[in-house]
A and B are shown apart, each in its own frame.
Chain A
């Protein structure tokens, strides 16, 4: 009899989730600058490429007649992607270190996939911009950097790759670094970091090898492990969009009326004063439950059910806020919108808009400045439409007031999606500006 091959490894990273935290990252880059190799390396060196997945890649290698194992085959999930050798869609990858669970949104790099980069960056805490040291800080890297900052990614990490092809030269690295620093805006909500790497050799990814003794910083994974909240991005006012009203209507919980949602920002404790939008009325938090059990206080990211002292008119779409600083409300808002659909955006046309837990109708009134994806400047546009992958500053007129914060302050209460009225496809994504 043959007992299956269970390859054992000395895996010192026991990946105990109990004391780890989650970090969400986005990577962008094109086929040429080694993104798939980097990701393959992160997965492989942190022992996440499993035996049978390697066998699948081996089989695919023969099928497509490639000469060497292509680590990109690990990340290209769809048959069309493998056949065409391109990445079409955002793929989500998972790996763990001793300190963190990583959720990595792997985005294709081409300009026609700007929508995917925007999607991947929308939830990311950190962006890895992969730069080919041979090619320098090219237009595509500038675009990815710009989009990461636009989407409010706290940490932008420039991984200067292919250092092995540049004799691990400090001068090359420093030259690219200063070119990037010169280009970056002087004021930004994002922090910048630089790491010279060789994804192919595994240098400064999981381990520091001996090739670049002049580099005094950490390897990429250690750097990510120790990354902390960027203090520029902390918005500590309580925001709680109501998702669902919990009313058991049973004898045991006859009078129970709880508001279920996810804390978008800030903290709330039993006894705190809150203001509820749209009514503007205030009350106090009576109790907080998670999974039916009482807790004293909740922090951002948690999904409690909150009970209030007074019986106010609250339903899905209401926003419970800190009384000291409630959210803004208006039906006319300014925003930066990315268009995600082949059918262009049109001014004057009606769409649905979903903001936090509310749906309203919306008309794009003005579509003036459009981002030039090459120069990365907003330019005056005379067009009344916005094409797929286009990014523009717009003014919107909503059918009802929405309760919001600026996107730069709060990614949850500052963002929305635009949905087609007829086929309900998600056609646009927006960030509210002043």
Chain B
């Protein structure tokens, strides 16, 4: 149906709301993955709209690497208190302490990949059969092929060559015991849509997204933030620069970009002008191999 009467953001909002309601109706025990990054903040906003004036029919869960920007945690806790919803914290530190995963060491150590195990363990522990994520198909080319209702087998694995066909808006959320779904309500959004929606709906996001003088160091052209979690290599000098973050993930692999954009409007202008994709610019984790995302997704990553 060609929706000439509604603009792009309204169309996307309505589609996402439809997806959120459908997964709640189709599955037993959903959970919303909430990282306090802009995409999951938008999913939360859409979920509140989908079920208003009722409360959310699912809890939120933060897969916490322990390597956070302090601003992220402050934002997360304040937001949750404001909307009075329940938050579950799945801790990567606990997975390490319990011997479920091995901590990497050295200057390139990151807990990013360890999150998959923590997430799958938490899904099993709480008996969730849907984890709602903020991933978008425009982020990375393996994601371009992923379904909105994306099936995971009993081992939490994604089988990209054997996905359920998804026609019209008829989502199939049925599954056997032990299997689960990842559902991505923002599948059809682009980074630009997200920013413009944040602007239109006046959605609050962490201040990390806006340019400010911050301490950084340069590693292979990526500006990383010094912290106790990152071992610095010789010659990596810490300096101050006006930067902002385009994505907010684990602090060890999320890079800042030089920017003077200190308002939403300026951020949008800057994104329009830029020719580097969001993940390439600020995610060290995607640079490791040509199919880095596909490999991580297969084993249960977001």
Q: Which residues of A contact B239 (CB under 8 A)?
A: 1
Known contacts being A94-B188, A424-B174, is A301 close to B160, with CB within 8 Å?
A: no
Interface-central residue, B54, B143, B197, B223, by most chain A CB under 10 Å: B54
| B94 contacts partner chain A, Cβ-Cβ < 8 Å | no
Once the chains are docked, how many angstroms separate the CA of A22 from the CA of B221? 36
Docked-complex contact A18 and B9, CB < 8 angstroms: yes
Q: Which residues of B contact A411 (CB under 8 A)?
A: 1, 168
Q: Which residues of A contact B163 (CB under 8 A)?
A: 89
Docked-complex contact A115 and B165, CB < 8 angstroms: yes
* Nearest CB of chain A from residue B46's CB, rounded to whole Å: 9
Docked-complex contact B2 and A256, CB < 8 angstroms: no
Docked-complex contact A426 and B172, CB < 8 angstroms: yes
Docked-complex contact A6 and B290, CB < 8 angstroms: no
Docked-complex contact B142 and A256, CB < 8 angstroms: no
Please count how many residues in chain B sit with their CB below 8 Å of the partner chain's CB atoms: 78
Binds A, one of B20-28, B70-78, B101-109, B111-119: B20-28
| A52 contacts partner chain B, Cβ-Cβ < 8 Å | yes
- Residues 44-66 of chain B, each 1 if its beta carbon lies under 8 Å from chain A, else 0: 00001111111100000000000
| A283 contacts partner chain B, Cβ-Cβ < 8 Å | no
Once the chains are docked, how many angstroms separate the CA of A60 from the CA of B174? 38
Docked-complex contact A122 and B168, CB < 8 angstroms: yes
- Residues 179-199 of chain B, each 1 if its beta carbon lies under 8 Å from chain A, else 0: 000000001101011001100
Known contacts being A15-B192, A260-B50, is A92 close to B144, with CB within 8 Å?
A: yes
Once the chains are docked, how many angstroms separate the CA of A125 from the CA of B141? 24
Interface-central residue, B8, B49, B161, by most chain A CB under 10 Å: B8
| A384 contacts partner chain B, Cβ-Cβ < 8 Å | no
Docked-complex contact B294 and A79, CB < 8 angstroms: yes
Docked-complex contact B172 and A354, CB < 8 angstroms: yes
Q: Which residues of B contact A14 (CB under 8 A)?
A: 272
* Nearest CB of chain B from residue A122's CB, rounded to whole Å: 4
Which residues of A98-151 have CB atoms within 8 Å of chain B's CB atoms? Answer: 100-101, 103, 115-116, 118-119, 122-123, 125
Docked-complex contact B280 and A53, CB < 8 angstroms: yes
Docked-complex contact B172 and A256, CB < 8 angstroms: no
Once the chains are docked, how many angstroms separate the CA of A288 from the CA of B297? 40
Binds A, one of B11-19, B34-42, B203-211, B226-234: B11-19
Docked-complex contact A4 and B223, CB < 8 angstroms: yes
Nearest opposing residue in chain B for A260, CB measure: B21
| B125 contacts partner chain A, Cβ-Cβ < 8 Å | no
| B218 contacts partner chain A, Cβ-Cβ < 8 Å | yes
Q: Which of A6, A53, A265, A426 is in CB contact (< 8 Å) with B164?
A: A426
Once the chains are docked, how many angstroms separate the CA of A88 from the CA of B17? 30
* Nearest CB of chain A from residue B218's CB, rounded to whole Å: 5
Known contacts being A115-B165, A262-B18, is A52 close to B280, with CB within 8 Å?
A: yes
Q: Which residues of B contact A8 (CB under 8 A)?
A: 273-275
* Nearest CB of chain B from residue A115's CB, rounded to whole Å: 6
Binds B, one of A173-181, A198-206, A245-253: A245-253
Known contacts being A92-B137, A243-B21, A302-B14, is A78 close to B2, with CB within 8 Å?
A: no
| A412 contacts partner chain B, Cβ-Cβ < 8 Å | yes
Docked-complex contact B170 and A415, CB < 8 angstroms: yes
* Nearest CB of chain B from residue A155's CB, rounded to whole Å: 9
| B83 contacts partner chain A, Cβ-Cβ < 8 Å | no
| A66 contacts partner chain B, Cβ-Cβ < 8 Å | no
* Nearest CB of chain A from residue B61's CB, rounded to whole Å: 22
Q: Which of A74, A88, A244, A292 is in CB contact (< 8 Å) with B161?
A: A88
Docked-complex contact A246 and B51, CB < 8 angstroms: yes
Q: Which residues of A contact B170 (CB under 8 A)?
A: 354, 356, 415-417
Interface-central residue, B22, B143, B196, B275, by most chain A CB under 10 Å: B275
| A323 contacts partner chain B, Cβ-Cβ < 8 Å | no
| A328 contacts partner chain B, Cβ-Cβ < 8 Å | no
19 additional A-B residue pairs with CB within 8 Å, beyond A96-B190, A301-B5: A6-B275, A14-B272, A17-B196, A51-B277, A52-B276, A77-B145, A154-B2, A246-B52, A250-B55, A261-B18, A261-B21, A303-B50, A316-B25, A354-B170, A411-B1, A411-B168, A417-B172, A419-B174, A424-B175
9 nearest A-B residue pairs (beta carbon): A52-B280, A292-B52, A291-B49, A77-B141, A424-B174, A301-B3, A248-B54, A50-B277, A303-B17
A-B contact pairs, 5 of them (CB 8 A): A50-B275, A78-B145, A90-B145, A229-B2, A256-B54
